[in-house]
Amino acid sequence: MEQELPGEEFSPFRLFTRDSLFNIEKRIAEEAAAARAEVEEHAAALEEDGEDVEPAHSEEHHPRKPNTKLEVGKKLPPSLEEYFPVELIGKPIEDIDEYYQYKKTCCVIAKDKTIFRFSATNAFFILSIFNPIRRLAIYLLVHPYPFAIYCYLA
């Protein structure tokens, strides 16, 4: 885990990097492996008893529902707003909702502190979240004001 420097404050907001995507994929793979092992263990136990095999469903690892305070289109809660660094406005950050820790998503916070959530998978099968074209599209979606004014003037 990362260690904090003595003068640094805790911040739940981290820039979304390739390492972040790798960690999400790793969590998903670990969860799938644990689920497979649990199903195999359950199947072996039922075979010994001579009963029919039913898959076991376990979602104890992560919350079942997303946090309603962190939904798309809502403003950052005041408790998190004070920790949000200005330099991360309009940039993809790691998802702040625990529900999405096992999903390939990232958040973008607009200037007015509105939450946007985007998929971190490849768009059109070729544009990763780190592609400059996709970053421009995200910027235009998050900051529509200059673009909207230009459209009205044209």
The tens-digit pLDDT sequence of the chain (154 residues) is: 444 444 456 678 999 999 999 999 999 999 999 999 998 888 888 777 665 555 555 555 555 789 999 999 999 999 898 889 999 998 999 999 989 988 999 999 998 899 999 999 998 888 999 999 999 888 888 887 766 566 666 5
Q: Can you tell me whether residue 87 is helix, strand or coil? A: helix
Which is nearest to 16 in space by CA: 78, 72, 100, 75?
Answer: 100
Sign of the Cα pseudo-torsion (73, 150, 129, 20, in order): negative
- What's the pTM value of the predicted model, to 2 decimals? 0.74
CA dist list (Å): 114 to 59, 63, 72, 150, 151:
29, 23, 8, 22, 23
The tokens describing 67, both together, are 């946090």
Long-range contacts, 123-126 (Cβ 8 Å, 24+): none
Q: Can you tell me whether residue 92 is helix, strand or coil? A: strand
